[in-house]
Amino acid sequence: MGLLNKYIFRKASIAIGGLIIFAICVLLMERILRIFQDVSNSATPAADASTMILNLMPHYLGMAIPMALMLGTIITVDRFSRTSELTSALGAGVSLFHMTKPFIILAVILSGVAFYVESIAIPKGRYQFRQAVHLVKQQSYAAILRQGTPTTVGNRTVFPGNNRDGDAIGPVFIYEEFLDDGERSVRITTAEEAQLIVREQTRAVVLQLENGQTRLVTNDKQVEGDFEFDNSAITASASLVSFRARGNDERELTTWELMNNQDGSINAAVDRNTNNAALHVRIAKSVLLLLLPFIAVPFGLNYGRNPSSAGIFVGVVFLVAVQKALELGQSLGAAGTVPPWAGIWPIIILIAALAFYLFQKSAYKMGQPPLTAFGYVVKDALAWLKRDLKETKDTLSQGTVS
């Protein structure tokens, strides 16, 4: 790689890397607010929120990479055009294809990263995120106890008071039903104060009771025993319900698992068409990244005294349109309306044809860059429309006068 390509590669890497970080931060902002709501009743909100955010990172990274590659390439090429560096390089005999090589290398690297993210990181991260949400819901009773709200877990109901300072709660009234030799009995425990402890390893919630009494009420409503204690500990929860195994839907399956399940024989929970449509769209997204430099470079070109600034806008609209088209194709394939491959790969073929046309016209033919020429077409069309409206207005005016 020559000095010019190293220079372009460095500038493009900085632009694309910065856009990836920026896009992830923007995309996470709205979800973070929802995560804070989910963990508001958690016993360990900071740890749970961090776990959820880390598991969501691959999902947003997969969304950020195509946008960053597209916009980073357009911005870099546009800056070279505006500072006349591109014109100088072309005047020195360096072809546009030669200057596109750094963007192609970046596209190959990001395509590999995106394939790994889509194939492994996102499916496993989505499952672990759902598992973390399930765990928070299972353990939210800890915060409810701190608020003094009666809580029933299993056969035990805890009525906590909330007139204590700090983490202490009290007084505490605990009502527990159980079978003793086949007969229904009730155990009643009271305590002046309790400390709520969350064990780090098992995350089990334990009530450390102080200055209390325990009484047993038999089925015939007779009180037996009157046990007093200074300190006692009970578990305020039943054992946590285990989360389901991974693979409830196609979004939790890795690409290799989707490949092995193309006939639907391994994971019956996922429909065969849904499985195959998800497989094709994941591969197509990686292929799409390899085509983006041949579209983004022409979008970023600017010549002349009045450079166009439409590249970024058109690039964003183009990517959004492609994403929606892929989603539509995937849904049609999953529903069985079309074969799973037919909803995805025709779109990629059209994009490849567009990339070939735009890059060939920009690199091997003389003329205005695509967006600049498009701007002139729009300008001429608006001028023609304005002139036609004026002629129509004049004709109507003359008819009214006569």
**Are residue 165 and residue 215 in the same domain, yes or no?**
yes
The neighbour count for residue 185, using CB atoms within 10 Å, is 15
Q: Which of 204, 235, 266 represents a domain boundary (last residue)?
A: 235
Q: What residues have CB less than 8 Å from 268, skipping those under 6 apart? A: none
Inside any domain, residue 396:
no
The reported pLDDT for the residue numbered 138 is 64
For residues 132 and 277, membership in a common domain is answered with yes
The answer to whether residue 9 sits within a structural domain is yes
The answer on 11 and 56 residing in a single domain is: yes
Tell me what pLDDT residue 60 has.
93
Range of the domain at 21: 3-138+246-376
Tokens 């009494």 map to which residue? 213
Does residue 390 form part of some domain? no
383 within some domain: no
Which pLDDT does position 371 carry in this prediction?
66
> What are φ and ψ of residue 215, in 5° steps?
-130, 150
Residue 394 lies in a domain: no
Q: What is the pLDDT of residue 198?
A: 64
Please choose, from the candidates 60, 40, 251, 258, the residue with its C-alpha nearest in 3D space to the C-alpha of residue 133. Answer: 40
Q: What total of structural domains would you count in the chain? A: 2
Contact 73, 103 (CB under 8 A): yes
Q: Among 235, 257, 281, which residue terminates a domain?
A: 235
The 3-class secondary structure across the chain, one letter per residue, is CCHHHHHHHHHHHHHHHHHHHHHHHHHHHHHHHHHHHHCCCCCCHHHHHHHHHHHHHHHHHHHHHHHHHHHHHHHHHHHHHHCCHHHHHHHCCCCHHHHHHHHHHHHHHHHHHHHHHHHHHHHHHHHHHHHHHHHHHHHCHHHHHHCCCCEEECCEEEEECECCCCCEEECEEEEEEEEECCEEEEEEEEEEEEEEEECCCCCCEEEEEEEEEEEEECCCCCEEEEEEEEEEEEECCCCCCCCCCCCCCHHHCCHHHHHHCCCCCCCCCCCHHHHHHHHHHHHHHHHHHHHHHHHHHHHHCCCCCCCCCCHHHHHHHHHHHHHHHHHHHHHHHHHCCCCCCCCCHHHHHHHHHHHHHHHHHHHCCCCCCHHHHHHHHHHHHHHHHHHHHHHHHHHHHHHHHC
Same domain, 220 and 252: no
Residues 124 and 10 in one domain: yes
Which residue is listed with tokens 């906590």? 160
306 and 225 housed in the same domain: no
Beta bridge partners of 195: 168, 208
Q: Does 84 map to a domain? A: yes
Rounded (5°) CA angle 53-59-60: 80
Cα–Cα distance, 69 to 79 (Å, whole number): 15
Q: Does 240 fall in a domain?
A: no
- pLDDT means per 10 residues, the chain with 402 residues, are 86 94 89 82 78 92 94 91 83 86 95 95 92 74 64 75 69 80 79 74 71 79 73 61 78 92 85 93 95 92 64 88 94 92 95 91 71 54 70 67 51
pLDDT in tens, 209-231: 888 888 887 766 666 667 788 88
Give pTM, 2 decimals. Answer: 0.72
**Structural domain includes residue 272:** yes
> Do 267 and 202 have their domain in common?
no
- Choose one of 205, 235, 265: the last residue of a domain: 235
Give the pLDDT score at 238. 43
User: Same domain, yes or no, for 175 and 322?
Assistant: no
Same domain, 295 and 226: no
Same domain, 159 and 231: yes
Amino acid identity of residue 98, one-letter, is H
Whether residues 207 and 280 share a domain: the answer is: no
**Are 133 and 35 part of one and the same domain?**
yes
